[in-house]
Structure 1
Amino acid sequence: MKRLKSITGLILLLMSISMNVSAQKKITGIYRNMNDYLCNQLTYVRDSSSTPVIKLYTLAPKSYVTIQYKGNHIHLNKNEIFAYQLSNGEVYRIIGNHSYQLLNNNPRLLLYKRKIPASPKEGPEDQFKYYFSAASGSLQSLTAWNVKQAFADHATLPDQIDALFKRDAELLTYDSFHKMYKLEWLLK
């Protein structure tokens, strides 16, 4: 009986791993640096002669990415890659062994979100944590205090943040008229 349970458990584990691998989305290209991202210049993209296969190694994290492109196997360190784009158009930035979805395309302020792992008890709704980076700065939690500190030299931004945003969650308010986040608009 114990053997049957262990075999069943092993089969379920292998099925969940294979389903997780097949659920990963296809990567359509890589942005080597921020300038490539801002100019929408993907590298290692599909062309008439080759379709690249890009492996991130998310299940067993490695410090590099493997690319099969035009018959070559290329290893790129993750710190040599700014971001990658999925077939659905979403762009993710690689920082360490984590991927953060980019929400905008602004050289002064980049906004990100990352899904927070949750237990089934918490419900089906996805929960996210939000981040930002200023110009070439490091990734920080998206809070009013952190944004004020990152743009301390901006003359009016701290007062505008205090006047317009009552909670940190409001920092991601999207301005549909200007087609950008209000925080981006304040930095103009």
Structure 2
Amino acid sequence: MKTSIKVLFTAILIIQGLSLKAQNTTGVYLNENDYKDHKLTYASNTDKIQLNEFFGGNTISVINDGKKVNLNKNEIFGYRLANQDYRFYNNVAYKVIDTVGFAIYSREKLVQDTKGYKPATQYFYSVNNKAVKELTIANLTASFPQATNFRYSLQSNFRSDADLISYDHAANQYKIKYLYLEHKRVMASN
């Protein structure tokens, strides 16, 4: 009895350790299919990616097996770092926030304030992982010209572009995603 409890306890510890390592994996998504399949290249359990963002660098550096590998940002889809996915578009990294229906991204940027510059979060989106666009009512309306009820929902449910990132904690989803999925449900039933 004691032996089986020890074996069970050891197995639980091993499984928890493996899941912790898997959760903290860092690496590069070479293309969109790798991202969709969660297939990381140059994967490790340590944060060994240098983004070279200062002065608009167009490469990232990955330490793999003790060797430094440089990759062009415009030739890879994105990367995973600190348990978070990022996508590159025009050599800029965007944090992936939500991918249901269409992707929503964020990016920190310095903006002018009364006492200098301060960091502010800006939001973006893409449809089918194509061009990354600023998350605005006008841009969404232009991206979904055939989705009439979705476009009308945007106009009637959001007063400003800033409202588009509203989150419904009870439903555990962004309100814009609820409207989009409701549109898709209505279209599928017709």
TM-score normalised according to structure 2 size: 0.69
Q: Which secondary structure state, in structure 2, belongs to the residue aligned with residue 138 of structure 1?
A: coil
Superposed CA RMSD: 2.8
- Aligned-pair CA distance for 1:68: 2.6
Identity of aligned residues (%): 28
What are the residue-to-residue correspondences of 1:22-37 with 2, within 5 Å? 28-37=26-35
Please tell me whether residue 155 in structure 1 is matched to residue 153 in structure 2: no
Between the aligned partners of 1:102 and 1:85, the Cα distance in structure 2 is 10
* Separation in structure 2 between the aligned mates of residue 81 and residue 58 of structure 1, nearest angstrom: 15
Residue in 1 aligned with 2:178?
185
Q: Are the structure 2 counterparts of residues 63 and 27 from structure 1 closer, same or farther at C-alpha, using a change threshold of 3 Å?
A: farther
Structure 2: which 5+ residue stretches go unaligned? 1-23, 182-190
- Partner Cα separation in structure 1 for residue 52 and residue 153 of structure 2: 42
- Identify if the C-alpha distance between structure 1 residues 27 and 128 changes in structure 2 by more than 3 Å, giving closer, same or farther: farther
Tell me which of 80, 96, 102 is aligned to 2:90: 96
Residue 84 of structure 1: aligned partner? 79
Other structure's SS at 1:41 match: coil
Aligned counterpart, 1:113: 106
CA displacement, residues 27-56 of structure 1 (integer Å, 9 cap, x when unaligned)? 922222334334433332226xxx673222
Looking at structure 2, the residues matched to 65 and 173 of structure 1 have their Cα atoms a distance apart, in angstroms, of 33
Q: Match for residue 44 of structure 1?
A: 42
Structure 1 position 70 matched with structure 2 position 68: no
- 1:142 shift after superposition: 0.9
Structure 2 counterpart of 1:67, which letter? V
The aligned amino acid for 2:99 is N
Distance 1:146 1:109 in 2: 13
Mapped contact 2:51–2:60 kept (Cα < 8 A): yes
Task: Check the 8 A contact 1:38/1:105 in 2, yes or no.
Answer: no
Local SS of the residue matching 1:103? strand
1:9-20 matched pairs, under 5 angstroms: none
Moved over 6 A (4+): none
CA shift at 1:151, angstroms? 1.0
Residue 55 of structure 2 is aligned to residue 57 of structure 1: no
- Structure 1 gaps of 5+ residues are 1-25
Q: 1:122 to 1:181 in 2, by over 3 A?
A: farther
Residue matched to 1:168: 161
Q: More strand by proportion, 1 or 2?
A: 2
Say which SS state the counterpart of residue 127 (structure 1) adopts: strand
Q: How many corresponding residue pairs?
A: 158
Measured after TM superposition, the shift of residue 102 of structure 1 is: 1.6
Query: What is residue 146 of structure 1 aligned with on the other side?
Result: 139
Is the alpha carbon distance of 1:127 and 1:52 closer, same or farther for their aligned partners in structure 2, counting shifts above 3 Å? Answer: closer
Choose between structure 1 and 2: higher helix proportion. 2
Residue 98 of structure 2 aligns with an amino acid whose one-letter code is N
